[in-house]
């Protein structure tokens, strides 16, 4: 991939490293929706998945390759012929495609995981790159666990894969072990010790086990790396990957010091982050840098006073630069389908006709209960519509009774296809009773791990949003539900989580 000296390639791995972590799995349609937004964000490379890992991953990569224009589409492949062949098959329709092949290079990985020797790993890496180059010009090689790899072996393998035609060499801190100064120095030493390194772009892929993924990535860039692998909201294996929005805004805000550019449309950052939350149902912490709810909120009197007098007293970047807008009153009871669709499109959501019909019906229903509808309300409706697209059971009716001297009771009616099922249960409170009634109908038992409730927008008539984390047979499933009735929102959230296991 041709790139200017001071341009850092943003390689997004939300759909691969991010999606493979527990609780973040997405349907193919959801992956396509997110990939379309990543293209609007102008990431340079979308790693769409790992085609050989499952037929679902293959199809997702293939559809993204066919439908998403703009970024390079990459697929992951182990250093095995069958993986590389399958990766190319999946990527075929893409205009710009990259095969990303990897092998563990540290003692721990070669000896204990692969049960091989260094010369065997080296030979596998060389033949993988050779095979990939028979298919495409753009080949990335990753030396997995590079930060714990014996340095002379790392130099040897990098030189060999570049000689074989790898155009990007990735240095992953797979276990999140590196410290920024050390990791930066490592990149500088790779530049000094790999004779043909100028023929490839150096990439980094940092995990966040010590909370240093962003710092390590920036330190690497300051020492010559020109690709960062990162994920929206920092999702990924274990503690996650470097957060895309953080690395991008660090380089933009401190361009005076880091001295590099990216092509990212930063005004799309908040929307992308919110879309991922809407799709997965996994919330981000309020104090998350760049995209958290409080990232631009000035609470203390001194801070508020300062910002009112002069923004730069306490603000290093503007909310507008990351696409954070003030609450806008958008639609009301009398708004039509056309205005509704147009507003959704402005927010970045393109729904298919049937999903649009359902979302519009929900909007009308909400507009009857609530006078003013804000962008956040629309996002909640769309998020719910996306989540319900894969619902086996849908909530038709919920009725609860509770009070200081009443046994809390819930009656629930669910639809499965055209069949409706009704059952009742008692519980510690109306939410507990509703969850027990749902369990009785679906036969799926879950353990509630976390339950969070918040209001979307302002006012006593605001929509309530409930997010739950449920342990179902050891798998963590997330669910989100919204309604002006918080019991209904709670039931919907539980049902979204349960549906992830329903057949």
Residues of the shown chain interacting with ligand KIV in the complex, contacts defined by CB under 6 A: 17, 102, 142, 144, 170, 172, 174, 205, 207
Specify the residue, 203 or 280, whose C-beta has the smaller distance to ligand KIV.
203
Which of left, alpha, beta for 183 (phi over 0: left; psi -120 to 50: alpha)? alpha
**80, 103, 152, 409 from 190: Cα distances, Å:** 26, 18, 10, 66
Question: Does 19 engage in binding with Zn ion (CB under 5 A)?
Answer: no
Candidate ranges 14-22, 61-69, 138-146, 474-482; the one touching Zn ion (CB under 5 A): 14-22
Specify the residue, 47 or 488, whose C-beta has the smaller distance to Zn ion.
47
Whether 270 contacts 323, CB under 8 Å: yes
Q: Spell out the residues 6+ positions from residue 197 whose beta carbon is closer than 8 angstroms to its own.
A: 158, 159, 162, 169, 190, 191
Question: Does 47 engage in binding with Zn ion (CB under 5 A)?
Answer: no
For residue 229, the cross-strand partners are 11, 205
What's the min distance (Å) between Cβ of 182 and ligand KIV? 17
Question: Does 173 engage in binding with Zn ion (CB under 5 A)?
Answer: no
The residue from 10, 12, 16, 17 that contacts Zn ion (CB under 5 A) is 17
The DSSP 8-state label assigned to residue 346 in this structure reads H
**12, 244, 265, 486 from 262: Cα distances, Å:** 13, 11, 9, 43
Candidate ranges 13-21, 27-35, 184-192, 439-447; the one touching Zn ion (CB under 5 A): 13-21
What's the min distance (Å) between Cβ of 38 and Zn ion? 17
Q: Which does 142 bind (CB under 5 to 8 A by kind): ligand KIV, Zn ion, none?
A: ligand KIV
- Provide the 3-class DSSP secondary structure of residue 219: helix
What's the min distance (Å) between Cβ of 205 and ligand KIV? 5
- Provide the 3-class DSSP secondary structure of residue 317: coil
Calculate the CA dihedral of residues 188, 193, 199, 200 and round it to 10 degrees.
-50
Residues of this chain, 218-257, that bind Zn ion according to CB under 5 A = none
Candidate ranges 10-18, 49-57, 298-306, 405-413; the one touching Zn ion (CB under 5 A): 10-18
Q: At what angle do helices 353-369 and 337-346 cross, to 10 degrees?
A: 100
| Binding track, positions 291-320, relative to Zn ion; x by CB under 5 A | ------------------------------
What's the min distance (Å) between Cβ of 424 and Zn ion? 47
Specify the residue, 17 or 140, whose C-beta has the smaller distance to Zn ion.
17
Q: Which does 490 bind (CB under 5 to 8 A by kind): ligand KIV, Zn ion, none?
A: none
**255, 307, 376 from 185: Cα distances, Å:** 20, 38, 44
Specify the residue, 106 or 409, whose C-beta has the smaller distance to ligand KIV.
106
Number of residues forming the site for Zn ion (CB under 5 A)? 1
From 34, 57, 17, select the one nearest 383 (Cα to Cα): 34
The residues that touch Zn ion, with contacts defined as CB under 5 A, are 17
């Amino acid at each position: 991939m041709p790139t200017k000296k001071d341009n850092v390639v943003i390689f997004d791995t939300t759909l691969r490293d991010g999606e493979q972590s527990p609780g973040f799995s997405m349907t193919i349609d959801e992956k396509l929706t997110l990939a379309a937004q990543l293209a609007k964000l102008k990431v340079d490379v979308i790693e769409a998945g790992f085609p050989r890992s499952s037929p679902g991953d293959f199809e997702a990569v293939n559809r993204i390759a066919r439908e998403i224009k703009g970024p390079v589409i990459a697929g992951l492949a182990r250093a095995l012929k069958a993986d590389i062949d399958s990766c190319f098959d999946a990527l075929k329709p893409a205009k710009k495609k990259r095969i990303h092949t990897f092998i563990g290079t540290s003692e721990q990985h070669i000896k204990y995981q692969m049960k091989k020797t260094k010369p065997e790993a080296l030979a596998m890496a060389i033949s993988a790159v050779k095979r990939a180059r028979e298919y495409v010009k753009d080949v990335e090689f990753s030396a997995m666990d590079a930060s714990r790899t014996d340095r002379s072996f790392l130099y040897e393998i990098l030189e060999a894969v570049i000689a074989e035609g790898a155009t990007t060499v990735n240095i992953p801190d797979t276990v999140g072990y590196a410290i920024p100064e050390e990791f930066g120095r490592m990149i500088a030493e790779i530049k000094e010790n790999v004779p043909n390194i100028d023929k490839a772009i150096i990439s980094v892929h940092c995990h966040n086990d010590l909370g240093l993924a962003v710092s390590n990535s920036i330190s690497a860039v300051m020492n010559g790396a020109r690709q960062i692998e990162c994920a929206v909201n920092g999702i990924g294996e274990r503690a996650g990957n470097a957060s895309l929005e953080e690395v991008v805004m660090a380089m933009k805000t401190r361009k005076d010091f880091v001295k590099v550019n990216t092509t990212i449309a930063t005004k799309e950052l908040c929307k992308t982050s919110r879309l991922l939350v809407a799709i997965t149902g996994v919330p981000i912490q309020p104090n998350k840098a760049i995209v958290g709810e409080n990232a631009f909120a000035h609470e203390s009197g001194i801070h508020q006073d300062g910002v009112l007098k002069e923004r730069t007293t306490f603000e290093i970047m503007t909310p507008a630069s990351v696409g954070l807008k003030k609450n806008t009153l958008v639609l009301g009871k009398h708004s039509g389908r056309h205005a509704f669709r147009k507003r959704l499109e402005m927010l970045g959501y393109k729904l298919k006709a049937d999903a649009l019909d359902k979302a519009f019906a929900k909007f009308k229903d909400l507009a009857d209960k609530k006078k003013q509808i804000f962008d956040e309300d629309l996002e909640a409706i769309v998020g719910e519509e996306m989540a319900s697209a894969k619902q086996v059971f849908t909530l038709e009716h919920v009725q609860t009774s509770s009070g200081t001297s009443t046994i809390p009771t819930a009656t629930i009616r669910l639809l499965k296809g055209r069949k409706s099922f009704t059952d009742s249960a008692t519980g510690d409170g109306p939410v507990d009773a509703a969850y027990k009634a749902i369990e009785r109908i679906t036969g799926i038992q879950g353990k509630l791990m976390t339950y969070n409730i918040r209001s979307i927008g302002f006012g006593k008539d605001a929509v309530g949003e409930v997010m739950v984390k449920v342990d179902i047979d050891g798998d963590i499933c997330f669910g989100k539900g919204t309604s002006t009735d918080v019991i209904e929102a709670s039931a919907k959230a539980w049902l979204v989580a349960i549906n992830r296991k329903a057949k």
